[in-house]
Amino acid sequence: MIRLLIGILFILASAYDSAGQIRYFRTPTLPLKTDTTLAFLAVAEDSIANDTLFQMRSKEGFPVAYFRKIRTSVCFDNKCRLLKVTLFWNPTGRYLGYDLVKGEFLSKAEHKPFTLAEYERMSDVLADQFSPLATLAYAEIAPPKKPISKEEEVDGVSSATAKNVLDYVVEGAAYTTYKMWHVVYGPTQASVVALTEKSLSPEYVLALLESPDGSDKIWALNHSQGFVTSTPALQQKLVTFINGTNYNLTERAINALDTGPNSATWQAMLADNLTTKSYALQKLIVNKLKRVTSLDAQAKKSLAEGLKSPNSELVSTILDVFRQHNVADTETCRPIADLLISQNQFIAQKAFAYLEKLDLSDADIKAKLAQYAQRK
Amino acid sequence: MKRRSVIATLGALSIGAKASALEPGEVLKEPYKVAKKAIKADIVVVGGGTAGVVAALQAARAGRQTILVENGSQLGGTTTTGGVAYPGIFFAWGKQVISGIGWEMVQEAVALNDDTLPDFSIPHGKHHPRHQVRLNGQLYALLLEEKCVEAGVQIRFYETPTQVTPQKNGWLVETVGKGIMTQITCNQLIDCTGNAFVTSMAGYDVLREATTQPGSLMFEIGGYDFQSLDLKLIQARYQEAIKKGELDKPDFRNNIVGLLRSKGDNISHVLGADSTTSETHTVANIKGRMALLKTLRFLRTLPGCEKTKIIDVQNETAVRETYRIDGHYKVTHADYVTGKLFDDSVSYSYYPIDVHDENGVVPDHLKEGVVPTVPLRALVPKNSKNFLVAGRCVSSDRLANSALRVQASSMGMGQAAGAAAVLANMQNKTPLDVSMTDLRKLLEEHGAIVPGSQKG
């Protein structure tokens, strides 16, 4: 029953369902239907009664979402009220949504029910992982004054919402907002991530990389190396991010590239297109090539072309790649020798420092080295 | 005769006593003397802080002989010695606007420390610190130094200029340091001191506000659980201590809760902090440290804070504002908030208007899509030749300066000033006579983003 219900939940962006149940959901990481639901022991959290974290899996066995039924008290000034809500997380730990059991509703001061806009606002607030609520103390939610009327009470408990926190909470329900936000980003989130990490496979990471949400993609990129076996398909997918326009995704994708045998998949592709990238990305790619176990022949050729760059630091980094891979063939060393006559002394010195340590037989290169040594 | 003989004997005894006091392997050092040295360079950069390192690297990587004079013991300035290890904002409205040498170093520091970059595609809204790149300041200092050495920049730590004198084709920069007085002859001189004191020394006008922004002593405290504190009581006790004169309201922005919440960081305010001279900077350092110590003692009297301790304190008070040059163009607040593009724009800046005062700071954010720019003329003092500045002493009014002063903008300016000096040196011109086409080309070749160009 719950599987079916959740399947429907994902289709709804945010709304009441036909049965009058209140549920608000953000864009899910994976648009897959739930096939099975597994129960795990949740981290015990102060004041949360329920200790079960549910994992919903697709028929492929991919975790698609998690939920936890929250039963907790919202208290202040020794007055409490019960908060009953089910919170949902994406497999990456990102907030997914919340729902209330039929007949339940969220309320503000004087137990006034939330409006539709306030439910949406609550969902927006909960989706903000960087909310200042992270560092505010519970005691900071209310200003240091007594309420002057009952209307000023918060959550039907006490005190007016402090003006400086209004931007981060549902007005009139500051304590409820605070409590829910801290459950979303509390220890349960880490449990969600830990459980997903146990299920990671190259296929699952590829599916996560298709998420419409940027932070999900970054999460998946950060889990593409070290958590799963590298595959050519995954490496090719990473290259598509590197060829995109989002800097963070590109940077993380370069970081995730495999430097082992599968690096042959991407080395030439990236080295060939080096000049089309910004300087910041060129540096990242060339530095990555420094760390591969074996430098691809085509990539080496493209890097040698890169020696024509007027950017001396980039040229210097390419020489570092060649040094790392003990490149000493004549075909590559000739363009290096051409740098000896560069007007930029920085470049010429770097080329000389590279070549002088090699045992070279090419007469042309030797002559250029001798000329440079004479000029010095 | 007898007397002379006695004195001679005494002398011999004295020498004998000295000699006999030496252990095997010890040698007596000759009396300490201040040595004199004369050296040459194409370009001299004074100030190894945020802008100066980038300027020096740009100059050296373009093949110029470059000397970097720094009066402290490490490079990086505000980001390292000052401890503000989140060097500004490099992306605006989802797009990178400051790159080049500065970003290269930031990115390497982030990678080498396994730190993560903020997601620049998510707008920061009213919270611009969300786009600040946090890094390990000390690691960053190491990287800067390595890059300078690799590029052939001659670093001269512990030296400060005493005089700069115009020459027929450049400058004579006289510096003094530990045991050395150096005369450096150069063609182009770049003032990256942050205080414009080389500009002033060279005889060009500099300006300052009657009241400047406070500085900050960066630190970290711990030893308490913020969530369990009785904040109302603490606030009341804090106000009481201020009323009694035991604490000074501006030291921590009248915000003891903020101090406890942030566990230090960038919360201290040192009024009148001025790093222009040893004496003024000494005062700023002592004021910052005394305020911290006094407040630490106070915190330890509060319930729940009895075990509060200092985890880290920077070596010096970081300074926000001192002198600005009187340049060929003064960037105004209106220029800044409208993102004015100049014919000679050489770098971008992106930060809210951010004037700190004794009550704290309320940043005024830029309107969506606005990215301010810095013209080359704002980096050149009026009536100067072969002279540039970069960093917070850029020619600007106070409000514009409150945003331009941050590190990312200073890095952009540093690279632009370095590149202008390179071309001026190579073409035997003064920086303002360098063609903008050549300057843009050189900057872009070295990875910088130049406003108004096809790439920028």
* pLDDT tens-digit map of A256-296: 999 998 898 899 999 999 999 999 999 999 999 999 999 99
Q: What pLDDT was estimated at residue A118? A: 95
Q: What is the pTM of this model?
A: 0.90
| Helix H or strand E segment including A55 | strand A52-57
Facing A312 at nearest CB: one of B61, B227, B257: B61
* pLDDT tens-digit map of A320-336: 999 999 999 999 999 99
User: What CA–CA distance (Å, rounded) separates B452 from B456?
Assistant: 6
The number of beta carbons lying within 10 Å of the beta carbon of residue B283 is 16
Q: Which of B421, B423, B411 is nearest to B447 (CA)?
A: B411
Is the CB of residue B325 less than 8 Å away from at least one CB of chain A? no
* pLDDT tens-digit map of A231-257: 999 999 999 999 999 999 999 999 999
Q: Over the range B153-185, which residues count as b (16 or more CB within 10 Å of their CB) and which as e?
A: bbbbbebbbeebeeeeebbebbbbbeeeebebb
Check: CB of residue B389 under 8 Å from CB of residue B351.
no
A76 confidence band (pLDDT: 50, 70, 90): low
* pLDDT tens-digit map of A202-241: 999 999 999 999 999 999 999 999 999 989 999 999 999 9
- Burial grade of A37 (CB within 10 A; 0-12, 13-18, 19 or more): middle
Check: CB of residue A140 under 8 Å from CB of residue A162.
yes
- Residue A158 pLDDT greater than 50, yes or no: no
| Helix H or strand E segment including B348 | strand B345-348
Tens of each residue's pLDDT in chain B, 456 residues? 455 555 444 444 444 444 568 999 999 989 999 999 999 999 999 999 999 999 999 999 999 999 999 999 999 999 999 999 999 899 999 999 999 999 999 999 999 999 999 999 988 988 898 999 999 999 999 999 999 999 999 999 999 999 999 999 999 999 999 999 999 999 999 999 999 999 999 999 999 999 999 999 999 999 999 989 999 999 999 999 999 999 999 999 999 999 999 999 999 999 999 999 999 999 999 999 999 999 999 999 999 999 999 999 999 999 999 999 999 999 999 999 999 999 999 999 999 999 998 888 889 999 999 999 999 999 999 999 999 999 999 999 999 999 999 999 999 999 999 999 999 999 999 999 999 999 999 999 999 999 998 766
Taken in order of first residue, the domains within chain A and their CATH numbers are: 2-189 (no CATH), 229-375 (1.25.10.10)
Q: What pLDDT was estimated at residue A148? A: 42
Task: For residue A248, give every residue at least 6 positions away whose Cβ sits within 8 Å of its Cβ, in sequence order, or none.
Answer: A214, A218, B117, B119, B120, B121
Can you give B216-273 as a three-state secondary structure string? Answer: ECCEEEECCCHHHCCHHHHHHHHHHHHHCCCCCHHHHCCCHHHHHHHCEECCCCECCC
Q: What are phi and psi of B311, to 5 degrees?
A: -95, -40
- Residue A157 pLDDT greater than 50, yes or no: no
- Cα-to-chain-centroid distance, residue A119: 27
Interfacial residues of A (vs B; Cβ cutoff 8 Å): 130, 132, 135-140, 144, 167, 214-215, 218, 246-248, 251, 255, 278-280, 282-284, 309-314, 316, 342-347, 349
CB–CB contact A311 B445 (8 Å): yes
Amino acid in position B412: G
User: What CA–CA distance (Å, rounded) separates B408 from A265?
Assistant: 36
User: What CA–CA distance (Å, rounded) separates B155 from B259?
Assistant: 38
Nearest CA in chain A to B447: A279
Domain B37-209+321-445: which CATH class? alpha beta
Q: What pLDDT was estimated at residue B371? A: 97
Residues 243-272 of B with CB under 8 A from A: 257, 261-262
B9: left (phi over 0), alpha (psi -120 to 50) or beta: alpha
Q: What pLDDT was estimated at residue B285? A: 97
Best B61, B91, B150 member to test A by mutation, with max A CBs in 10 Å, is B61
SS3 content of chain B, % helix, strand, coil (to 5): 40, 20, 45
Q: What pLDDT was estimated at residue B4? A: 53
What DSSP line would sit under B71-125, residue for residue?
Answer: SSSSS-GGGTTS---S----EETTEE-S-HHHHHHHHHHHHHTT-----TTS--T
Global ipTM: 0.87
Q: What pLDDT was estimated at residue B456? A: 61
* DSSP 3-state of B182: strand
Q: What are phi and psi of A320, to 5 degrees?
A: -65, -40
* Contacts A136 to B, Cβ<8 Å: 261
Q: Where are the domains of chain B?
A: 37-209+321-445, 219-313
Within a 13 Å sphere around the CA of A44, how many CA atoms are in the beta-carbon half?
Answer: 0
Q: What pLDDT was estimated at residue A111? A: 77
* pLDDT tens-digit map of A113-123: 899 999 999 99
Q: Which residues pair with A80 in a beta bridge?
A: A75
Is the CB of residue B60 less than 8 Å away from at least one CB of chain A? yes
